[in-house]
Structure formats: C-alpha cells, structure tokens
Structure 1
C-alpha cells in the first residue's frame, strides 16, 4: 500500500535556502516537496496546479510582498495550509499575515528539529507559531477587543456551522473537515465564509487564537 505523503510547496527567492529546506523536509518519510519557486508571479499558478497540503511562504520575494501573494492565494480559494516562513518578527507583518489568512508563522532562525516538528503539528491540526509571535498576536487581539468591542457570538452559528467551528479551532483543513462530517469540501468552504462573517474573524489563525485564549 502506497503511503500518503504530505506535499509541500516552497516559495522563497533564496535558492540555497530553498535547497536546504527541501533536503530537510524530504528526510521525513511522510513529507515531500513537490514544487518550489522564487518568482512571485509563479506562486498562485503553481499552487493551483500542485494543490499542496502546505505552502511555505516568505514575506519578501524579489521585490514582491509575500503578504500580497498570501492574499492572492486566498482570493483564489486555495485551501493549502499557508505558513509564513520568514526572518521578520515585525508586529505589523505578523498581524497582516494573520488577517490575510495565514495558518502559521515561523521564523527562519528556528532549530531544524523544531521546524520539522512544526510541520508535523500543522498537519495534525495544531496552530503553529513561535511563542513570542503568539504573545504579539494575543496582546494585539486583547487591545483590539477593548477598542472595537467586537462580538464573537458562537451562539449565532447554526448547528452545522457549530460543528465546523469546533473542527476549525482544532486546526483541521477543509478536506479533513469534509471527511469528518461526510460532506463535500465546497460546502465546508461556504460554511466557513459564513462563520467568519458571523463571528467577525478574518482568518482561521485569528479565530483559533481567540478560542485558545478563552480556554486559558
């Protein structure tokens, strides 16, 4: 029986780094790098063609803003888990990535074993980010909640939306949610759009951080 592999697309304009990351990822038996590029204009098309499970995306790519690429990926309804993989720990970059739909935020100075563990975690349904970045996000959200009085009323969800919400905050992908609930992936996407609108969230990460913060 052929083993299912988690597929990865690398988007970074440094060939040596891409090569090193690819070699590192390919040392894990159930992971495979299926594509790579350092050209901003190729990113969305590659993602559409390859449909990878994970996209590792840098913020700066040959003069192209990786956050703009992230927005384009989401506008094209690409359901891959998009992880920002960058040297930038700038608060504005982190918050912008969060709002644009990133599923994680990792810094390039992390240890190789921690990096591989993070990739394993994202596919097992966990939110991944550096602890310092997590603190930045939580502090930002607390401040925004205070100034805007945003309401995240989970009771406004329908029973089906509530089922999907519970799986979303566990970190499950659209494909896994569809499989878990025995519905088609396109239906999951429609429900997620409604959930974000009702709960005033712009991304999975933003919603999950809020959920985890409430459980502390």
Structure 2
C-alpha cells in the first residue's frame, strides 16, 4: 500500500504536535496538515484531500460531530477516525451515525494507535476494544430508506459478509474466507449500507454486534454451498 497521508484536527496544540511526531516516525504514515478547529480542518481537507483524517470529538466552535458530517460528503475518499477521550455510548453512536470510519480513545498506547490507523487504511473496522461492549446495548434503529429493503431481505452472502465485517476483517480477508473476489465483497458492503440505512463499516459492525451477527461468524463459512 502507498504512503498514507494524514490530516490532524484537534484544538490542543501540544497533542497535535505529539501526534505528528509519533506518526511521522512510522513508515508509511505522513502528517500533511494540522488544524486547530473544525472549520480550519474542513478547509485543509478540501485543499489536501488526505487519505485519513484524525478528528477530535469535542472542540469549541464547530464540534467534531458537525465537522465529521461536513467532511464526509466533501472528501468522500478520506477515512475519518475519531480520536477522543469520551467513552460514552451516545458519543460513540453519534459518531458512527455521522459516518466515522473509526473511534479510538486518546489513552491508547502509541503503538496501538498506529496499528488502528494502519488497519483502518486496509479496510478493517477500527474501534477501541474497550468500547465493544457498548455496541451490544439496544438502541433505536435508524429509519429505513424507502428505496432499500430491511434486514429481512439480506441475502445469505450479505449476512456472512456482515458477520465478518463485525469480526474486524478487511475486504481482502473476507474475500479469502468466502471464496469470492474483493470486488464482490465491495458490492455486498454497498448493499448492506443501503439496506440497513447505515453509513460506514464501523456502523455496520455496531449494528451487527447489537443483532448478534458477531456470534454467527464461526458458522459463516460453514454455510457456504
């Protein structure tokens, strides 16, 4: 994989500088911009089109959630990982619904953070393990799009794909386990997002945890015909 270009958005200068130093020391990661506010981050994202954006959740002025909601349509090819001190379920779910591609706590070990970012770039679900339990708590589902079918219309292959996404597998590993191409996996992911009215792989994983799909992973490959 080519070098990953990162944009940091956080109102704490010391943290930004520390993150930049940490990430620039890693092979394959380069910080190409730093922003101290959501509005500045949006402008830099528009100019730089980074591969990955590391975004603080709670900032004065334009909040992290508002920034995230504006970034996703502006730079749809950029992955956005929320880096926050908040382990609240409402913050986590709000970030998922806004389209976050990852949610990581600021007290993570440096090598963990690097691993999360590299994994996200490779298509893995990026969620701090300590927060996994929050995904199984019942929450009201989002309203379904009228043009998309609901869960009852998921195909068997889509269900298998969903279980493997929730288990943290990348598209390449899902393709290998199910014996299909990467392109076919991408089609299944697009269908899942549409049918379930969700916005990211991470939100799919959260939905799957709440629906018990994670427990079905062991039988995913066995049910192949």
Q: TM-score higher than 0.5 here?
A: yes
Structure 1 unaligned blocks of 5 or more: 173-179, 183-187
Q: Residue deviations 1:130-165, cap 9 Å, x none? A: 12212112324xx446xx9x63632399xxxx6xx7
Q: Give me the CA root mean square deviation.
A: 3.1
Structure 2 match to 1:126: 124
- Structure 2 residue 97 is the aligned partner of structure 1 residue 99: yes
Alignment of 1:34-183 (within 5 A): 34-140=32-138, 143-144=139-140, 151=151, 153-155=153-155, 169=165, 170-171=169-170, 181=183
The Cα shift of 1:54 comes to: 0.9
- Asked whether the 8 Å contact 2:45–2:75 carries over to 1, the reply is no
Structure 1 match to 2:204: 207
The Cα shift of 1:206 comes to: 1.5
In structure 2, how many angstroms separate the alpha carbons of the residues matched to 1:196 and 1:124?
19
- Structure 2 residue 24 is the aligned partner of structure 1 residue 26: yes
In structure 1, how many angstroms separate the alpha carbons of the residues matched to 2:199 and 2:25?
35
The Cα shift of 1:62 comes to: 2.7
Change (3 A) 1:95 1:211: closer
- Asked whether the 8 Å contact 2:127–2:202 carries over to 1, the reply is no
Change (3 A) 1:138 1:27: same
Query: How many residues get paired?
Result: 190
Q: Give the TM-score taking structure 1 as reference length.
A: 0.75
Q: Give the TM-score taking structure 2 as reference length.
A: 0.72
3-state SS of 2:155 partner: helix
In structure 2, how many angstroms separate the alpha carbons of the residues matched to 1:21 and 1:198?
37
3-state SS of 2:26 partner: coil
3-state SS of 2:198 partner: coil
The Cα shift of 1:77 comes to: 4.8
